[in-house]
Chain A
Amino acid sequence: MTKQKILLHVNRATQELEAAPNRLLLEALREDLGLTGTKCGCDDSSCGACTVLVNGRPAMSCLMLAASYQDAEITTIEGLAPGKTRLSELASLQRAFAECGGVQCGFCTPGLILTTCSLLEKTPHPTDAEINEALSGNLCRCTGYTQILESVRRAIELMEKESAGEVVRP
């Protein structure tokens, strides 16, 4: 199968790669662009570990042909905190997941954080039911979700404080 040039807009930069048409976005991100924060957890598109944002909406990159998403704005987990080196420098959402135990093994974490990111963009003050609904396509096998829910609540709290001008440090 002949390779073709593919241009992807990932994390606000345009990336060029050579790939065959059957290249999945998941494979392109991980193998061609080295963005290994996007994970592969299943083969039947049921787990959500490969979630990325496509024009701000969460979707599974294991379902997407790289060549078909050349016009889309793709955000991966690496795009949320470029250049940061410490927990305290991160945005509220990522910090909250660490501080509230929303992370255990970490394999579902990038997907969950991106899905939450999209939720809070659209609905800054979701109810618990809305949070659970929004996250219901991202499986976690470690936490039982209790501390994930707490992480999202904490992120909302931190974001409110930040927008009110308070300096919040962990």
Chain B
Amino acid sequence: MSLPAFKLVRPRSLDEALEALLRYGPEAQIVAGGTDLIPSMKQRLFEPRVLLDVKGLGELNYIRFNPEAGLELGALATITEISESALIAREFPVLHQAAASIASPLLRNLGTLGGNLCLDTRCLYYNQSAFWRESLGGCLKKDGHICHVAPGGNFCWAAYSGDCAPALLALEATVQLAGPRGNREIPLAEFYVNDGMVRLRKAQDEILIGVRVPARNAGFEGIYQKLRIRKSIDYPLAGVAAVMRKDSGGICREARIALTAVNPAPRLLPKAEALIGKEFSAGLVDEIAHEAIRTAKPLTTSASSPEYRRRMIRIFVRRALEDLWLGRRPRDGGAKKDLLSN
């Protein structure tokens, strides 16, 4: 299937890219790996007049760590590079697991961290061909006025379906944005808007250039659990990232849990704070797992039913906490066991 027509701009530096964004305004769209945008363009979900291909910005492709700045990831680091980084596997296992679980090796080779974080929200009524959507009359998010998932409402429930974001939320990452007004750095949690149409707090003329994970979060035990039907290719239908630091007595000193694919934005679980200062108790774990389904509000935007996805969120949270707290190997819930041992 062919792409709609566009003018291709391939900047060689960030400055050139920002300049182009300014020049073409809302008619321009950024593409890096293309794994999200290109199939959507084939479906005519996007028909930008200008496509800004940023792959040439070598300055945005890095994975580095130092004790002051922490882990720094360039927006153009590929998912493969992140999943194959021995440093990340050792110090930030939750991110390693999340990255290694994304789509398939073929897609990870092209897909970038920036693209994964800026992934468009997904819905069964939205990610369809132009013919299909036209036959239905469009939806709230594209070319229509009705939400087919929650008829009568004017809120878009399309689900954010990236895997890196929950891992990075759990690791307290910040994102760096470059724009004509200079650079800014904001917590990743503030980067997202829980609305399937608004999605990101990123101005049209800004470019996501990198991500930073504070050094203090290095070495946290972490688990990423993911619901999908196939163990490859599929987007998550629900995902849980959890990290924990406990002291020698088994007391939880720090813990964070984030959810993906069950809301229009990836969400940190506020109740995870209740774990701090506690020793393991099945009751407490159950309580947190139960709380998780208050945060997860999936609708019928994907293959599995909302009930099942919420149920799985609860099980994943409980299993992740048990495994982290009791020091067990993660169970098969998307993370690839054989890779973890490498």
Contact = CB atoms under 8 A, between A and B. Distances in A.
- Interaction A to B: yes
Interface of A: 1, 20-22, 24, 27, 43-46, 48, 51, 54, 57-60, 62-65, 67-68, 115, 127, 129-130, 133-134, 136-139
User: 10 closest A-B pairs (Cβ-Cβ)?
Assistant: A137-B104, A21-B8, A136-B232, A137-B106, A22-B3, A1-B5, A43-B1, A129-B338, A57-B109, A63-B34
Contact of A133 (B35, B38, B339): B339
Q: Which of B7, B10, B106 has the most CB of A within 10 A?
A: B106
Contacts, number: 89
Interface of B: 1-8, 10, 33-35, 38-39, 42, 51, 53, 55, 80, 103-107, 109-110, 129, 231-233, 336, 338-339
Given A45-B107, A57-B109, A64-B34, A130 B6 contact: no
B55 A68 contact: yes
Nearest to B127: A44
B300 to A, nearest CB: 20
B340 to A, nearest CB: 11
A24 B107 contact: no
17 contacts: A21-B6, A21-B7, A27-B2, A43-B39, A43-B42, A45-B39, A46-B233, A58-B105, A58-B106, A60-B106, A63-B110, A64-B110, A68-B55, A133-B105, A136-B105, A136-B231, A137-B106
A45 B105 contact: no
Nearest to B9: A21
A51 B6 contact: no
Q: Which of B34, B105, B107, B231 has the most CB of A within 10 A?
A: B105
Contacts of B110: 59-60, 63-64
B323 to A, nearest CB: 21
A42 to B, nearest CB: 9
Contacts of A54: 109
Nearest to B339: A133
Nearest to B32: A68
Contacts of B338: 127, 129-130, 133
Given A43-B1, A63-B38, A137-B104, A58 B8 contact: no
Contacts of B38: 24, 45, 62-65
A67 B103 CA distance: 25
Nearest to A62: B38
A134 B105 contact: yes
Contact of B2 (A22, A57, A59, A133): A22
B109 A63 contact: no
B233 A137 contact: yes
B34 A65 contact: yes
B33 A137 contact: no
Nearest to B105: A137
Given A59-B106, A137-B104, A45 B35 contact: yes
